[in-house]
Amino acid sequence: MSRTQHTADALRAMHEQGYMLLRGVLQPRQIDEVRVTIDQLEPIHWDYQGLVDDHYKCVFNRDPFWLPYLDLPGVIELAEACLGADCHVIGQTAWRSHPGFVGGELHADYLAMELPEALLADPAFKLPMQVCTAHIYLDRIDADLCPTWVIPGSHRAGRKPRVDETSWQGREAEPIFCEAGDVLMFRSDLWHAGSRNRTADRSRYLLQVHYGRRMVAQKFSPYLQWRFNPAVIAAATPRQRRLLGEHEASEYD
């Protein structure tokens, strides 16, 4: 199957199911390198190293090493198909979840507006995406190692889940099991949840990339004090520079 056809099929899944699992995106060497590099990170600003998890924001700005993970082959084509050829990155987060970690409850990350579910039930209506997230898994994810749970099609609810709501239209959340190097792309209005690390001695390593339409603001902390790393900008390709915010002039520039 050509990459163009694969992207078209993945885009269809994003509209119908709200997510797509891309297999074998990273090679074993890349997986090892990213894990080692995450282990070398130190917290800055809102980053933290906790008892059961470590969280590092905007890692792309620390070193050119992270740039290739903004536009991985197969992932960037899907992001652009979902959000437009002028989409950009609104975050890149490295995350370690240690034994005892407890993931978030069922939620949707971002909803541009609430819409009637009756409208969204029409298969002819395609709800535009505003933000998508790529979960780049650096471990084999099984039932004990923090699988992401999703409710397929729940982006068509037109709202976020209510407190204690665990299903949509009778459909319960399903875990995503995958191999190290796989990437889960999902839209921000999909109902999804984290889960526990039930292992005794394994930490889940995860790299997240958040993509938004051009009109979705880039959220780079520490905001007013933000400065791009000159070494990163110098090393970035034209596509990576656009993902970092170097857009062509438009209506609001």
The residues that bridge with 200 in the sheet, in sequence order, are: none
Taking only the tens place, the pLDDT of each residue in 224-236 is 999 999 999 999 9
Domain annotation covers residue 237: yes
Domain annotation covers residue 251: no
Domain annotation covers residue 120: yes
Domain annotation covers residue 36: yes
User: What distance in Å separates the CA atoms of residue 134 and residue 148, rounded to the nearest whole number?
Assistant: 12
Domain annotation covers residue 9: yes
Q: Which of 12-16, 90-94, 163-167 has the lowest mean pLDDT?
A: 163-167
pLDDT of residue 169: 94
Domain count, the chain: 1
Please state the rounded mean pLDDT for residues 212-239.
95
Q: Tell me the percentage of the chain whose pLDDT exceeds 90.
A: 86
Neighbouring residues of 154: CB distance < 8 A, sequence distance ≥ 6: 18, 108, 161, 168, 171, 190, 191
Which domain does 55 fall in, by range? 3-160+168-244
Taking only the tens place, the pLDDT of each residue in 148-160 is 999 999 999 999 9
Q: Report the CATH number at residue 63.
A: 2.60.120.620
Domain annotation covers residue 249: no
**Mean pLDDT for the chain?**
95
Taking only the tens place, the pLDDT of each residue in 22-51 is 999 999 999 999 999 999 999 999 999 999
Domain annotation covers residue 250: no
A 10 A CB-CB count for 155 gives: 27
Whether the pLDDT of residue 55 is over 70: the answer is: yes
Q: How far is CA 18 from the centre of its chain?
A: 13
CB 185 within 8 A of CB 134: yes
pLDDT classification of 1: cutoffs 50, 70, 90: low
Domain annotation covers residue 253: no
Whether the pLDDT of residue 5 is over 90: the answer is: no
Sign (positive or negative) of CA dihedral 65, 93, 33, 21: negative
The pTM of the full predicted model, rounded to 2 decimals, is 0.96
CA-to-CA dists, residue 198 to 52, 94, 201, 219, angstroms:
12, 20, 9, 32
Taking only the tens place, the pLDDT of each residue in 88-120 is 999 999 999 999 999 989 999 999 999 998 888
